[in-house]
Amino acid sequence: MRNEHERKETVEGSLFYMKRGAVASIPMIIGGIPFGLLFGSLASNYGLSPWFAIAMSSIVFAGSAQFVALGLIALHAPIWVIVSTTFIVNLRHLLYAADLVKYVKHLPMSVRIVMGFGLVDESYAAIRPMYGTGEVNEKTGHKAFLGSFLAFYLMWNTTTVLGVLSGELIPGMSEWGLEFAMVATFIGIITPYLKSKPFWLCMLSAGVSSLILFELPNNLGLLLSAVIGVCVGYCVDVSLNAPIDSETKDSKEVEL
């Protein structure tokens, strides 16, 4: 009887944190709906099978990488070009994983594999701040992340199906400019972090370098800009938090 009660409490606790993760993701889920519709409609406009787009969303689940792959497939690009390009586009997820590993390294490999599959920009942006505020910790954070992941997964696959159907019924839907919704979503993702000098300089350096490196092939400019932004932000953060040498401090006090 006691074991059953404890099991019930564990299940209720898991559902509580999964619900919290899903609720925290609602604003970005809303922003992603037009993006999913656009992906489904593009597949129809490119003459690809509706089942191909649906399978890609359910198996790949990679947002921007799916758009890149879809365009390359429509151009009949070699498979190695498709795989390598989407790999480069998704390299930014290594930064997310590197940041989260300290919170999940104690979890079973099976759980970490599922989290790796569901590690998209929006789920990272929704759940990562919750660790900093104390809303979740190493024992509960993965539950909130799974709630966010499942909510996004359901939205992405549902909107893909709707986009496929809409693309067949409403020609030219891909020209409506729905992709701006995802741009707005990414702006919303980074805005809460712009509270200190390192984050501002990280954003500015990444933005300027992305404009300068825009012409690089296979979206290499995006990857390099991310690396530049991270390096600038890290260096500034280290310099601001570096301990002041005692002799230097004494000399400054004497000068004052």
- 136 alpha carbon, distance to own chain's centre: 19
CA distance 249 to 175: 61
Instruction: Please state the pTM of the whole predicted model.
Output: 0.71
Torsion of Cα atoms, 42 then 47 then 53 then 55, to 10°? -170
Q: Which domain holds residue 168?
A: 2-188
Q: Do both 97 and 222 map to the same domain?
A: no
Which residue, 161, 188, 215, sits at the end of a domain? 188
- What is the three-class DSSP state of 131? helix
Residue 36 lies in a domain: yes
Q: Do both 74 and 117 map to the same domain?
A: yes
pLDDT value of residue 172? 60
| Closest by CA position to 197, among listed 145, 236, 159, 160 | 236
Is-contact 69 56, C-beta < 8 A?
Answer: yes
Is-contact 188 88, C-beta < 8 A?
Answer: no
- Total number of domains in the chain: 2
Residue 77 lies in a domain: yes
Name the stretches of the chain with pLDDT < 70.
1-13, 167-186, 188-189, 192-193, 218-219, 243-256
pLDDT value of residue 30? 84
Residue 229 lies in a domain: yes
Which residue, 188, 215, 234, sits at the end of a domain? 188
Residue 256 lies in a domain: no
pLDDT value of residue 5? 43
pLDDT value of residue 168? 60
Residue 235 lies in a domain: yes
Which residue, 168, 188, 208, sits at the end of a domain? 188
pLDDT tens-digit series, residues 1-53: 545 545 555 666 688 888 999 998 888 888 788 888 888 888 777 777 888 88
pLDDT value of residue 177? 59
Residue type, 111: V
Residue 23 lies in a domain: yes
pLDDT value of residue 252? 43
Torsion sign, CA atoms 170, 176, 180, 185: negative
Residue with tokens 């989290």: 115
Q: Do both 86 and 63 map to the same domain?
A: yes
